[in-house]
């Protein structure tokens, strides 16, 4: 086991010498400092497990030094050394956060006892109450990514962990899904610990390596088997009690994971069922709508011919409302059956230009500037141009609709990493609130008076069918950027 590190600060060299000898005989690794400045340098350099500060030091007292030390190492147990007979000072020191006090001259048993207790009471878990509160909060679920992030983040915040990583089994491979904390370096050691605790099905800690790093892991059980593990990297050697806390935490994380998985399954199932039903209803509406359109147009002509302009205007309005309903119905039926793709080599630059022309015809905003940054070196991609046109048409129409008061529309294409091309549609329009952003892809979600709430849902379905991905970045009042990544070669 790595020896614990002690820092002793006193302006009396004789005291330093005595304490160095005593503490070394207890198996401690001792660092000495004669002044506040020296002590701070050492505290900035490395972590200590216990510190002994002289109360009376000039010009900065031991209590001030303790405050500075705790700013750097919040959980460092500090023992304040006072001259015999100044018990009031000692009490004040403890009140201000000292672990305990030592009176000079030292009684060997007292020194041994208090330093020993300071070391053994130092815990890996910083704040158990916080840990429990965070665990409870996890019980309310969100998306999978958010839950995993919360688990990693909470672990780092509530413990002495320098890094926490959540691993999940994905297609038989252990993948790091979320990570928090500042420790640098590769994840190999953590992944190994994750695999080990999943195998053994119990929380465990590794022995400290040459740098004094310890890995703690706890398996995450979902549906009978270990679905992953929560692994942390720390420099404080944990007790059995600490492992229990980690196990408690991982079991709470497990509940959150289970809830989220179920919720996601439910959501997608309900969505699919709703889509099928909507498609059927829409289909039934198509023929009557066609009839309505014909009658309205006939009426419009007839009234116009008879000189009844008011009447023909109303008929014209009916006709346009019917058009809107027909659009809606077409979108719903398309959503219901995505159909198979007919991929051909497609020039996305040309496609973007033709979508822009179409979209501009649909939206009557004034004062809109358009900038195109279409990379001429963009490779052709294997896409179904009819389907993909729907995607960008929807995105551009949304962008234009967001800029009813004018603005700039930017369309960009560029080759992206790993055989993908990226198309971005950006506007300087109204942007989205967080709530809107969370729901944009929901079927029938719209914030517009005459919106269908289908555009984004359709766009995402088509992009995903192609093996691509969509990302939205939006700021309320500033604008929105939607990026679409599409594979060059069919996956
Ligand atoms: P619709 O346009 O018919 O309302 P969509 O599915 O296309 O339906 O979009 C859903 C919602 O997402 C919109 O009502 C709007 O609130 C929001 N949205 C989509 N694109 C943008 C954008 N570029 N800027 C601001 N909000 C947007
Ligand atoms: Mg739309």
What is the predicted pLDDT for the residue at 59?
84
Q: What is the pLDDT of residue 298?
A: 93
Mean pLDDT of 186-207: 86
CATH code (residue 229): 3.30.450.40
How many A from CA of 446 to the centre of ligand 1? Answer: 6
Mean pLDDT of 381-402: 90
CA-closest residue to ligand 1 atom 16: 447
In the chain, the number of structural domains is 4
Ligand 1 in reach of 430 Cβ (< 6 A): yes
Position 225 confidence tier, pLDDT thresholds 50, 70, 90: confident
Would the pLDDT of 482 be above 70?
yes
428 lines ligand 1 (CB under 6 A): no
pLDDT of residue 99: 87
Are 228 and 172 members of one domain?
yes
Tell which wins on pLDDT, 243 or 412.
412
Residue 398 beta carbon below 6 angstroms from any ligand 1 atom: yes
The pLDDT score that the predictor gives to residue 141 is: 45
pLDDT at residue 86, rounded to an integer: 66
Each residue's pLDDT tens digit, 71-116? 888 778 899 998 765 667 777 888 888 888 888 888 888 899 889 8
- 44 and 154 inside one domain: no
Predicted pLDDT at 326 = 87
| Pocket lining: 394 vs ligand 1, CB cutoff 6 Å | yes
Q: Report yes or no on whether pTM surpasses 0.85.
A: no
| pLDDT-derived band at 407, boundaries 50, 70, 90 | very high
Compute the average pLDDT of residues 370-384.
93
Residues 242 and 318 in one domain: no
pLDDT at 22 (0 to 100) = 93
Cβ atoms 391, 463 nearer than 8 A: yes
Q: Is the confidence at residue 136, as pLDDT, over 70?
A: no
Residue 151 clears pLDDT 90, i.e. is over it: no
**Rounded to an integer, what distance in angstroms lies between the CA atom of residue 327 and that of residue 417?**
37
Are 276 and 207 in the same domain?
no
Which pLDDT does position 1 carry in this prediction?
44
Same domain for 312 and 406? no
Listed residues 259, 285, 300: the one ending a domain: 259
Tell me how far the alpha carbon of residue 445 lies from the centroid of ligand 2, in angstroms: 10
Between these two residues, 92 and 301, which has the higher pLDDT value? 301
Shared-domain flag, residues 348 and 476 = yes
Considering the domain architecture, whether residues 244 and 375 belong to the same structural domain is answered as: no
**Cα 441 to middle of ligand 2, angstroms:** 10
Phi, psi of 289 (to 5 degrees): -65, -40
Q: Is the CB of 320 under 6 A from ligand 1?
A: no
Return mean pLDDT, the chain. 84
Which numbered atom of ligand 1 lies nearest the CA of 452?
A: 3
Q: How confident is the model at residue 436 (pLDDT cuts 50, 70, 90)?
A: very high
Looking up residue 475, the CATH number of its domain turns out to be: 3.30.565.10
Q: Which residue has the higher pLDDT, 25 or 86?
A: 25
Q: Point out the domain boundary residue: 259, 293, 326.
A: 259
- For position 63, which CATH number holds? 3.40.50.2300
Report how far residue 4's alpha carbon sits from residue 175's, in angstroms, rounded to the nearest whole number.
34
Residue 140 has what pLDDT? 47
271, 390, 398: residue to mutate for ligand 1 pocket, most atoms within 8 A of CB: 398
Instruction: Say whether both 417 and 357 belong to one domain.
Output: yes
Is 24 within 8 Å of 8 (Cβ atoms)? no
Centre of ligand 1 to C-alpha 57, Å, is 66
Ligand nearest to the CA of 448: 1
**Rounded to the nearest whole angstrom, what is the distance from the C-alpha of residue 395 to the centroid of ligand 2?**
7
Look up tokens 């990302």; give the residue. 471
Single residue among 293, 316, 336 that ends a domain in this structure: 336
Weakest-pLDDT range from 200-204, 238-242, 365-369: 238-242
In the chain, what percentage of residues exceed pLDDT 90?
A: 35
**What ligand is nearest to the CA atom of residue 453?**
1
Nearest-atom number in ligand 1 for the CA of 446 is 14
Per-residue pLDDT, averaged over 220-235, amounts to: 83
* Residue 403 Cα to ligand 1 middle (Å): 12
Q: Which of 98-102, 157-161, 419-423, 487-491 has the highest mean pLDDT?
A: 419-423
Dump pLDDT digits (tens) for 114-128. 898 888 766 555 555
pLDDT at 233 over 60: yes
Q: Please tell me the predicted confidence (pLDDT) of residue 110.
A: 87
Separation of CA 468 and ligand 1 centre (Å):
20
- Give residue 211's pLDDT: 78
12 and 118 within one domain: yes
344: CA distance to ligand 1 center in Å?
Answer: 29
- 480 pLDDT band (50/70/90 cuts)? very high
Q: Is the CB of 445 under 6 A from ligand 1?
A: yes
The pLDDT score that the predictor gives to residue 339 is 61
- The model's pLDDT over 244-297, given as tens digits with 9 standing for 90+, comes to 777 777 877 777 777 777 766 666 666 667 766 777 777 788 888 989 999 999
What residue numbers bound the domain in which 102 lies? 5-130
Kindly report the length of the chain. Answer: 491
448 lines ligand 1 (CB under 6 A): yes
Q: Does residue 447 share a domain with residue 366?
A: yes
Domain match, 405 and 459 both: yes
Please name which ligand lies nearest the alpha carbon of 480: 1
Q: Please indicate, yes or no, whether residues 288 and 200 belong to a single structural domain of this protein.
A: no
């Amino acid at each position: 086991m790595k020896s614990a590190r002690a820092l002793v600060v006193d302006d009396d060299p004789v005291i330093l010498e005595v304490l160095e000898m005593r503490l070394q005989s207890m198996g401690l690794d001792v660092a000495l400092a004669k002044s506040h400045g020296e002590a701070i340098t050492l505290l900035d350099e490395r972590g200590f497990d216990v510190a002994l500060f002289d109360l009376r030091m000039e010009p900065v007292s031991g209590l001030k030094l303790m405050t500075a030390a705790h700013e750097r190492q919040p959980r460092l147990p500090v023992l304040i050394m006072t001259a015999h007979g100044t018990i009031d000072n000692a009490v004040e020191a403890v009140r201000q956060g000292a672990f305990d006090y030592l009176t000079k001259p030292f009684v060997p048993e007292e020194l041994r006892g208090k330093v020993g207790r300071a070391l053994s009471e130092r815990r890996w878990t910083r704040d158990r109450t916080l840990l429990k509160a965070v665990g409870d909060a996890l019980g309310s679920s969100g998306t999978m990514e958010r839950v995993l992030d919360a688990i990693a983040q909470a672990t780092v915040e509530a413990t002495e962990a320098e890094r926490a990583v959540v691993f999940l089994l994905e297609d038989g491979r252990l993948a790091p899904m979320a990570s928090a904390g500042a420790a640098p370096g590769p994840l190999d050691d953590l992944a190994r610990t994750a695999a080990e605790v999943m195998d053994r099905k119990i929380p465990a800690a590794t022995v400290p390596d040459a740098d004094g790093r310890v890995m703690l892991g706890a398996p995450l059980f979902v549906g009978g088997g270990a679905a992953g593990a929560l692994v942390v990297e720390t420099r404080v050697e944990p007790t059995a009690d600490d492992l229990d806390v980690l196990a408690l935490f991982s079991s709470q994380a497990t509940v959150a994971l289970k809830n989220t998985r179920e919720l996601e399954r439910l959501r997608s199932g309900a969505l699919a069922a709703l889509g099928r039903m909507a498609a059927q209803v829409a289909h039934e509406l198509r023929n009557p709508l066609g009839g309505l359109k014909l009658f309205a147009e006939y009426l419009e002509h007839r009234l116009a011919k008879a000189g009844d302009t008011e009447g023909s205007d109303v008929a014209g309005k009916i006709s346009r409302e019917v058009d809107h309903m027909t659009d809606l119905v077409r979108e719903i039926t398309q959503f219901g059956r995505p159909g198979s793709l007919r991929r051909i080599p497609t020039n996305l630059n040309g496609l973007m230009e033709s979508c822009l022309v179409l979209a501009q015809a649909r939206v009557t905003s004034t004062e809109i500037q358009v900038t195109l940054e279409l990379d001429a070196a963009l490779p052709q991609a294997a896409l179904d141009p009819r389907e993909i046109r729907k995607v960008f048409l929807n995105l551009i129409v949304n962008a234009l609709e967001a800029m009813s008061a004018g603005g700039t529309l930017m369309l960009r294409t560029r080759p992206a990493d790993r055989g993908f091309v990226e198309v971005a549609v950006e506007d300087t329009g109204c942007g989205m609130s967080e709530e809107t952003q969370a729901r944009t892809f929901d079927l029938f979600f719209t914030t517009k008076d005459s919106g269908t709430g289908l555009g984004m849902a359709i766009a995402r379905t088509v992009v995903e069918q192609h093996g691509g991905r969509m990302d939205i970045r939006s700021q309320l009042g500033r604008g929105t950027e939607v990026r679409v990544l599409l594979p060059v070669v069919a996956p």
